[in-house]
Structure 1
């Protein structure tokens, strides 16, 4: 086994040389990492920033950790230098040298000369582990802050520039705070972006979302929730302003179309009122719906829209035109439905007249037009349908009586030679009447 000491078995020369080579490589890697941390852009920004909140607290702790790291590294460097000097005394180290090296390389013989841990002793391996832990924690904080500063302020500035352009455009079409919801939205977005940028600059870690389970330095992403929300809000406002701009471009044509639609609705209602008078005079024992007058409220709103256009109040004209266009189409549809409802009795009378004449023509084709019963029933139905006022219910019964009499007579009449085929099939179908 060989001699033993406080640090266990005494190392031989090969073990010492291998340990020194490993420790030298670790020393070089640690030194490189510490200088990289020292030169990191995020660390330089943190040193010069007026920090607040979580970032301020964590940076104070990180600065202490970085200072302690250098103290650890100096102690590590000193221990490694001492070990190398002992090993360099002679080519073949004596047993006493090897025992001293074993104690230095494996024992708790490294004393930190600064910080709150002054006088605490470490092994070189424990000191490396401690430095790795402090370095990872410090780098994580620096990288996270730098990532937020690299991502969010520039994006906020771009959005703020777009916001300024949108506000100028809004002002040009009369969209102002207190007068239009979009103007109020622009003011709110402006305040939010200003506050967001200030907070991101002074407390970047408040806008950092660590990645769960990630051990990589700075594992995570910037929290863009507020930024994304305001970007969407600005896009919505921009669409509203674009709509107002569109109104400014085609307002006159839209007003002309509105006047035309409302004019057609008025003419249709006037036609319905005239038709109602005709129906009341010509049709008896039926209810005819009342026809309303022209919509004065829409005409007043149309006049208001024209006034908005003359005064370039585009932000007010835009929603009014959209509302008027919908209401005008509804009014035209209502007028057409009113005309249809009013003239329905006349349509019924026309249908009965057409049915009566169709049966008379069919009877004549069969040479039965002079039948006394048919002539009597036809004249009775015709007097009812061509006299005013016409009782539609009584007239319909008269037409049905004529239709049934004709059907019975046609059914008993002998077939005229040469008149078979499709015409007879049509006659038989018509004899069944419209109710079958």
Structure 2
């Protein structure tokens, strides 16, 4: 190496040493590294972390040897203002040659030999490459563990928050649910993730537990609301039952008015649900069940009352609609008769017979709508020559 080349290489190596030193300090101050140092690990994580620590110990050993060579090189350069040939040769040997000595590692007695263990000699570049490989192994381990913790621990915290909130709501309700099994399961999952994140397969169990506790929390929150609003909602439900009675009464009146005009099947008779709903409300008032169950039942009764009222109203509308359908068929029959006159078919015996059949059906009471509609259809086809 030239003098300028040697000095430039020494400055570059000094910068490299400072950068490596900073990276190693950052590694040891990494949050996950600090957590793992004092953690009680097991399984796949324990094995992976042990291997990473061994690599890290080797890295520090290499770094000490690397730094010692650079320290020697800096001392050689500082000995004289202008380097002589001997200094330059020595500096070149340190910077380019196999100047880093890696001592043979001590082995367990069962792996030793009575023959001397040879030390390794590496160049500075080879040493940096080995340190980089060890550094990457350690950071890869940290990243893999960190990825699991970042993904799973917040979800465990959220599930734990649900459990704590459920306990608070239970105290507010004065009731207690049997969640001891879920609490134990949550502790087990947390211990598994903390102690062996790389071997943990907790996603399915955590999904199931999270759904269960989220559902239990929602039920408890609803129960608290229902408990506070029960008196008002009960009054609203009583009013809703009155609306059901009114709607069912209208449906019965519609059935009575229509059944004399339109032939109805037995199943068209409106059925009352209000008595069953009223009995359900009475049972709810007398219930000693937990508020979670009472909240569910109250919400169900409210929904059933709305549905019963809507169904009764729809029944009345449908029944009156049958009369409208009959009147619409009467109108179609009249229009067809006018068309028959225009076409000169009014006196045709076959056409007249079809008209008369349709007319009798439509003006009979009660009217068979299905048969009457078919009769009108036949008459209309006859007028149009069998075409529609």
**Is TM (by shorter chain) over 0.5?**
yes
Pick the structure with greater CA Rg. 1
Cα drift, residue 62 of structure 1? 1.5
1:13: which partner in 2? 3
Cα drift, residue 250 of structure 1? 3.0
Q: What is the aligned counterpart of 2:295 among 318, 330, 333?
A: 318
> SS state of the match for residue 222, structure 2?
helix
Taking a change above 3 Å as real, the CA distance of residues 136 and 294 of structure 1, as seen in their structure-2 partners, is: closer
Q: What stretches of structure 2 of length at least 5 have no aligned partner?
A: 107-116, 328-362, 368-388
Q: For 2:310 and 2:31, how far apart are their aligned partners in 1?
A: 70
| TM-score relative to the length of structure 2 | 0.62
1:254: which partner in 2? 233
> SS state of the match for residue 41, structure 2?
coil
Match status 1:199 vs 2:189: no
1:62: which partner in 2? 52
Coordinate RMSD, CA, aligned? 4.6
Taking a change above 3 Å as real, the CA distance of residues 249 and 66 of structure 1, as seen in their structure-2 partners, is: same
Q: Could you give the per-residue CA deviations for residues 43-95 of structure 1, whole angstroms, max 9, x where no partner exists?
A: 33322110123321221111111211122122223323343444455555554
Cα drift, residue 188 of structure 1? 6.2
| TM-score relative to the length of structure 1 | 0.57
Taking a change above 3 Å as real, the CA distance of residues 198 and 285 of structure 1, as seen in their structure-2 partners, is: closer
Q: For 2:145 and 2:154, how far apart are their aligned partners in 1?
A: 14
2:14: which partner in 1? 24
2:304: which partner in 1? 327
Once the two structures are superposed, the pairs formed by residues 26-425 of structure 1 within 5 Å of their partners are 26-87=16-77, 90-115=80-105, 119-142=119-142, 145=145, 153=153, 156-157=156-157, 159-170=159-170, 172-173=172-173, 177=177, 190-205=183-198, 234-263=213-242, 265-266=244-245, 291=269, 294-295=272-273, 296-308=275-287, 311=288, 313-333=290-310, 335=312, 393=364
Q: For 2:262 and 2:132, how far apart are their aligned partners in 1?
A: 104
Q: For 1:277 and 1:157, how far apart are their aligned partners in 2?
A: 63
Q: For 1:118 and 1:238, how far apart are their aligned partners in 2?
A: 67
Q: Could you give the per-residue CA deviations for residues 330-366 of structure 1, whole angstroms, max 9, x where no partner exists?
A: 4445555677788999x89xx9xxxxxxxxxxxxxxx
Q: For 1:54 and 1:149, how far apart are their aligned partners in 2?
A: 15
> SS state of the match for residue 50, structure 1?
coil
Q: What stretches of structure 1 of length at least 5 have no aligned partner?
A: 1-10, 178-182, 209-222, 352-391, 397-436
Taking a change above 3 Å as real, the CA distance of residues 124 and 273 of structure 1, as seen in their structure-2 partners, is: closer
Q: For 1:160 and 1:231, how far apart are their aligned partners in 2?
A: 9
Aligned residues: 319
Cα drift, residue 29 of structure 1? 2.8
Taking a change above 3 Å as real, the CA distance of residues 317 and 118 of structure 1, as seen in their structure-2 partners, is: farther
Q: For 1:256 and 1:22, how far apart are their aligned partners in 2?
A: 85
1:360: which partner in 2? none
